[in-house]
């Protein structure tokens, strides 16, 4: 049961990071959008490429630091893991849950159903991934997380 709670906390942290990153304006997260939407926004003069690039670098740096720190603390400190395979399995489960949570809950529910993510002047451009796109991306990330979990488990052993 504790592992379910930890995964819920990790996914809520994911949502919180995205919410903080975009604040009260979807334009702050323009780097999440397809190229066609970004190009239209630039044409409309709502923002520029340099601003979007800077915001992406700031957000992604903070996001990766916070999410990596959180998973290390959960596995290494909260769970007290001291062997590679236990850490690997815990990291893999957390990364996969986060991966599919992002694709299904964030992309297909939050982004697809909320008017917040619609940018004025781009309403005619699809910006929500299709189920086929979500599945393809999540499967690729699932494979990447097989390696990522090993890295995280190794870091847990080094740090704790």
If you count them, how many residues does the chain have?
Answer: 160
**CA distance to 65, 68, 76, 79, 106, per residue, from 92 (Å):** 18, 13, 14, 15, 20
Domain, as residue range, for 150: 2-159
Residue 23: CB atoms within 10 Å: 10
Residue pair 97/10 in contact (Cβ under 8 Å)? The answer is yes
Q: How many domains does the chain have?
A: 1
Model's pTM, two decimal places?
Answer: 0.94
Tokens of 79: 């769970």
pLDDT per residue, tens digit, the chain (160 aa), is: 999 999 999 999 999 999 999 999 999 999 999 999 999 999 999 999 999 999 999 999 999 999 999 999 999 999 999 999 999 999 999 999 999 999 999 999 999 999 999 999 999 999 999 999 999 999 999 999 999 999 999 999 999 9
Q: What span, in angstroms and rounded, lies between the C-alpha atoms of 141 and 135?
A: 10
Average pLDDT of the chain? 98
């Amino acid at each position: 049961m504790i592992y379910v709670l930890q995964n819920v906390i990790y996914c809520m942290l994911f949502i919180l990071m995205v919410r903080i990153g975009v604040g009260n304006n979807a334009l702050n997260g323009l780097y999440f959008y397809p190229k066609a939407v970004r190009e239209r926004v630039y044409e409309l003069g709502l923002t520029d490429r340099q601003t979007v690039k800077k915001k992406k670098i700031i957000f992604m740096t903070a996001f990766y630091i916070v999410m990596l720190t959180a998973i290390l603390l959960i596995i290494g400190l909260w769970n007290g893991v001291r062997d590679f395979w236990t850490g690997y399995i815990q990291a893999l489960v957390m990364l996969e849950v986060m991966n599919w949570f992002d694709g299904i809950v964030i992309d297909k529910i939050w982004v697809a159903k909320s008017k917040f993510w619609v940018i004025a002047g781009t309403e005619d451009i699809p910006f929500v991934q299709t189920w086929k796109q979500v599945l393809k991306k999540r499967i690729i990330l699932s494979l990447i997380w097989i390696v990522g979990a090993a890295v995280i488990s190794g870091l847990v052993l080094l740090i704790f």
